[in-house]
Amino acid sequence: MSEVLTAEQVTRFERNGFINGGPLLDVAQTAEMLAELMRIIEIGPKGFAEGQRQPVLFRDLTGSTEAVDGRKKAPVWQIVNIWEASPLFEQLIYHPGIVGAISQLTGMGDLQVWHDQVQYKPANAGGATTWHQDAPLWPSIEPMTPVSAWIPFADALPENGCMWMVPGSHKWGNQQAYLNTRTDLKLLEEFDRIGEGFEMPEIDGGSGVKGAGCDCGGDNCGEMTEVKPVLCPVRAGEVHFHHSLTWHGSPENHSPNPRPGLAIHYMTSDARYTGRAHPMSVHIQVQTGERMIDAGPHFPKVCQGGKPVAGPGKVTRSV
């Protein structure tokens, strides 16, 4: 397969745990995706008819139904497997520019979709996605799914809730218990405080952490021993990649612009079902311990033997 990312981009991803992969969709394609997303948001969580193809989950991720402490209600619309409700989104999960890059970043030629996930932060009152790592929140599959793609359909900038990431944090193991203690950080001006109170794990000293995604032999991972969060603005139609142990999150959106973003989380062919629960686990059609490669139609294969799969073909707007 032809290489999508440069060697320099791959090296940067290995070191930092994330990378902006550059333009993926042109202006017209991005506008079409945004219109399709708004069509589905308009249908709403309760608007799909019985038997109609629909997302697996459609909810406010924050659970914020009331204004709290005088602050506005701040939802984040989370739509899991929008690809199941929309031919346009279905075609996007097969995009060779995404699939080829994930193959390069994981070093694996066989990939399938774990699930996709829209996070739409409405204008003026969009909620926060608090600091987290992905892999610890996906207990149903092991080994962890290594890399996700993230595409905004409008510019994702600091003021409308672009993601933040912590360089090198993908080499610090599972720190979700610590991150759970920092869900108070929700605003743009608070987000860089994530490192306060964090005790850095021993990285080079045989703690076992180094094995969690890094095989540099200590040459690089010894350098990233400070929590230095960075903003990750992504322009409309660009694709951004992150490792499933990279610390990340996105603050509230108080700007006049919505922030529509789609994550596509991919599995490599060594993933197995653990039997543990997740919103996707009810759709897994294999037994505990078996390979996810046979998990059924909710987990499409997008790359086989190093070649991106074509996908369902010509995209037409659904009615």
Ligand X SMILES: O=C(O)CCC(=O)C(=O)O
Q: Which residues of this chain interact with ligand X, rule CB under 6 A?
A: 119, 129, 134, 148, 150, 163, 248, 250, 261, 263
Residue 15 carries which side chain, given as an amino acid letter? R
Nearer to ligand X, 104 or 244 (CB): 244
Smallest distance from the beta carbon of 206 to ligand X, in angstroms? Answer: 30
How far apart are CB 294 and ligand X at their closest, in Å? 25
- Closest residue to ligand X, based on beta-carbon distance: 263
203 versus 280: smaller Cβ distance to ligand X? 280
State the nearest-atom distance from the C-beta of 62 to ligand X, in Å.
Answer: 12
* Residue (83 or 203) nearer to ligand X, CB: 83
| 96-106 helix and 7-16 helix, angle to the nearest 10 degrees | 60
Q: What is the nearest approach in angstroms of ligand X to the Cβ of residue 278?
A: 14
Q: CB nearer to ligand X: give 84 or 134.
A: 134
End-to-end CA distance of the chain: 35
- Nearer to ligand X by Cβ, of 149 and 302: the residue is 149
Kindly report the number of other CB atoms within 10 A of residue 200's CB atom: 13
Q: Which one, 108 or 263, has the nearer CB to ligand X? A: 263
The distance of closest approach from Cβ of residue 261 to ligand X in the complex, given in angstroms and rounded to an integer, is 4
Q: Which two tokens stand for residue 227?
A: 């929590």
Residue partners of 206: CB distance under 8 A and separation at least 6: none
| Shortest CB 276 distance to ligand X, Å | 19
